[in-house]
Structure 1
């Protein structure tokens, strides 16, 4: 995904991550610019990134690191942790983009609901193995 803006056609996003080029690095101090760059890197648009509820927290995590590495930013958004570190919060992993990517719920993050064990999962077919259910030995 590419975010449309007024950048020249020969603009190199990699320049943004060069710590020597302070004007680009300092631009990430602005939350809106941070989100615009992250949208370009992750493939999710800015409203989608904001809807995770992690924009401010991921911005603070990024600002806490001196090196602005595009791979680290993508890892942060998808997994909820800066590479090599624990998640930035208890909810960061659960809100990671990895779960949205394949429309899943992180294991253990949401209760399936009372009595959910009594019904087959959606789309599952109950096996018909020809064996009568066990009635606790009442017919013997």
Structure 2
């Protein structure tokens, strides 16, 4: 996701560099909603808001790309996902309307059905 340089959330992040305004959870969610394109209730529904807030506070350098990466992938850039749940709840899967590989069983007897677009042999 690319955020235009004149995006209001970026101006807010620049302000936070000095005052650490992202320490306020409500402000953190508001800024993240602007950056990710998901509204605050959707971000809360992932169950990752508090964990992502803690992860953000643990990193000195904060920019829009790192926050978007954290929400979409479940990991701070250059690091492993903060938890298996963070990976499973990444916004990337909601964007694709899919489940992350290996996180959800396809269902009993699914092996007996041909894959979508596939032919039975």
Provide TM-score, normalisation by structure 2.
Answer: 0.84
Per-residue CA deviations over 1:81-107 (Å, capped at 9, x if unaligned) read 000001011111111000000101111
Runs of at least 5 residues in structure 1 that lack an aligned partner in the other structure: 1-9, 128-132, 134-140
**Aligned counterpart, 1:47:** 41
Per-residue CA deviations over 1:94-137 (Å, capped at 9, x if unaligned) read 1100000010111101111222101223x54645xxxxx7xxxx
Measured after TM superposition, the shift of residue 13 of structure 1 is 3.0
The 1:30–1:105 alpha-carbon spacing in structure 2 relative to 1, beyond 3 Å, is same
Q: Which has the larger radius of gyration?
A: 1
Runs of at least 5 residues in structure 2 that lack an aligned partner in the other structure: 1-5
| RMSD over equivalenced CA pairs, Å | 2.2
Answer 1 or 2: higher relative contact order, Cα 8 Å, separation at least 6: 2
Return the alpha-carbon distance in structure 2 between the equivalents of residues 27 and 95 of structure 1.
Answer: 25
Of 74, 77, 81, the match for 1:83: 77
- Which protein is richer in helix relative to its size? 2
Query: What is the number of residues matched between the two proteins?
Result: 116
Provide TM-score, normalisation by structure 1.
Answer: 0.74
SS at match of 2:23: coil
Runs of 4+ in 1 over 2 A off after TM superposition: 10-23, 123-127
